Amino acid sequence: MHHLCIAGWLSCSAPAAAQRSLVMPKLPPAGRAHPGVPAAPPPGRTSRLALGTFPLLLAAVCAALGRFLDLPLLFLPLMPAVAALPAIGRPDVRRVLGAGAAAVGGVAVLGWGAKPIPVYAALASVLAVTAVVRTAARRVRRQELRIARLGRLAQVTQAAVLPRPPESVGGVRLEARYLAATPGATVGGDICGAERTPFGVRLLIGDVSGKGLDVVATAAETLHIWRELAHHESSLAGIALRMDTSVTRIHHCEGFVTALLITVYDDGRVELLNCGHPPPLLVRGGRATWLSGLQATAPLGLMRMAGDRCPTAVVRPAPGDWLLLCTDGVAECRNPDGEFYPLAERLSSFCGHGPTAVLDALEADLTRYRDEAARDDAMLLLFRPPDGQHSQRSP
């Protein structure tokens, strides 16, 4: 999508008007090609009771067989193995002590009336194995707690670096989802933001080119720059030009940043400026279509190549309309067969529910569709202007 958008603004023969009215698309006839995605059932778990009682049962069976066959010394060496059973799975201290107690009981039953030396040797082995496994279990537990603390710290840090927008800003209803290319991560090269300013509610969705930690740093700095400019620049063009200059000065940014800058006014008008980014989708009457007539300019960091041209467009959504913004991780998503993800079609099939359910279904469907070997960060931002707040219709 990056190269398609850049080619679009490079191929323009004459600059368009800096401000023009956006053409609202004709919506296709209704129809559900893809039903909603059902939630996957939770994975099964092995019973903790079975894991705790198995050493006890095994010790009891060995002791009973040893006494029944009158071969206690044959089963006596198996008791240290019973004590070591918790080490096979996740070593829990209580299960380790329980297995050790079962093994000691087995030694007592098998060693009753037997020669003391083998009995003492088996008992010493059981105690030694129990002590070793217990020490390992305590170390594993400490490591798990440490990893859990680091995970919570990472979540707080990631939320501070690239926070997600709230559910409502200045009368604009928002829903956002982020699918990281790295499993478990909540930050990457995709950014979005929402700010209540004297000029209206300002929205941003963007995508930093490249990969790695430098992309995360560039994304965080870009979002911070936009937040400052959104409260002081009266026009979207002014924000874009100053962001373009700032992006070129970021020392670890060797690429560019595609972005869609939006101002939502109190009367419901929506002004858009597309900096080489995928266009938004209009959701009306349960159908989703790409907005037409939105001219793209150069991405941030490359705007000098386009002569600092920043054409904007204005649309006035009808009550109940929603707009979906996305990054190229969604627009360019492909399955293992190389087929692009039909975003407008799938979004239409999920409409009819609340915005949270719509994005949940879209996120789950997109996760299953995309090729795991070539996945990219993906961001979804669904919003409804103030005039739509009086309508109870779902997207």
**pLDDT at position 264 over 50:** yes
- Stated pTM of the model: 0.64
The residues, ordered by sequence, that sit 6+ positions from 377 with a Cβ below 8 Å of its Cβ are 178, 179, 180, 181, 188, 189, 190, 207, 327, 329
* Alpha-carbon 171 to chain mean position: 26
Domain ranges of the chain: 51-156, 163-390
Q: Residue 241 in contact with residue 307, Cβ under 8 Å? A: no
> 159: helix, coil or strand?
helix
Measure the CA–CA gap between 377 and 321, rounded to whole angstroms.
27
84 secondary structure, DSSP code: H
Measure the CA–CA gap between 155 and 163, rounded to whole angstroms.
11
Whose tokens are 């003492």? That residue is: 120
Measure the CA–CA gap between 107 and 80, rounded to whole angstroms.
9
Mean pLDDT of 92-107: 84
Q: Which superfamily is assigned to 163-390 in CATH?
A: PPM-type phosphatase domain (3.60.40.10)
Q: Quick one: what percent of the chain has pLDDT higher than 90?
A: 28
Q: Residue 234 in contact with residue 241, Cβ under 8 Å? A: no
**pLDDT at position 179 over 80:** yes
Residue 219 CB: number of other CB atoms within 10 A? 23
Q: Which two tokens stand for residue 341?
A: 């993800």
Q: Which two tokens stand for residue 356?
A: 């949270």
Mean pLDDT of 163-176: 87
Q: How far apart are the first and last CA of the chain?
A: 25
Q: Residue 79 in contact with residue 38, Cβ under 8 Å? A: no
Give residue 315's pLDDT: 92
Mean pLDDT of 51-56: 74
Mean pLDDT of 352-381: 85
More confident residue, 284 or 18: 284
The residues, ordered by sequence, that sit 6+ positions from 221 with a Cβ below 8 Å of its Cβ are 246, 250
State the average pLDDT for the chain. 79
